[in-house]
Amino acid sequence: MPYTIIDVGWWMQLSLPLPERSKSFMKTASYEVYGAGDNRMLMTDLDHIGTYVARIVADPRTLNQAVIVWEDERTQLEMHEIGER
């Protein structure tokens, strides 16, 4: 059976800590730092994932392959610093 495995990394929208006034259920997860927070993470904008998936699935070279998509690489500490600014 043919397959294509697609990994889109972490959503950029969850990379920055959400504002204190946010009512989102994901707020606490956006503040959590895993380990020392200094490992690079691959991130993709949630709004772009559909476009990437459509292009990957339509491309015959991706059949029976694993494909990773990312738009940026940052550590959690870098993202928290950006959020503080």
Residue 29 pLDDT class (50, 70, 90 cuts)? low
Q: Specify the pTM.
A: 0.74
Q: Cβ-count burial of 78 within 10 angstroms (0-12 exposed, 13-18 middle, 19+ buried)? A: middle
Could you tell me which residues come within 8 angstroms of residue 50 by beta carbon, excluding any fewer than 6 positions away?
A: none
Q: What is the pLDDT of residue 28?
A: 67
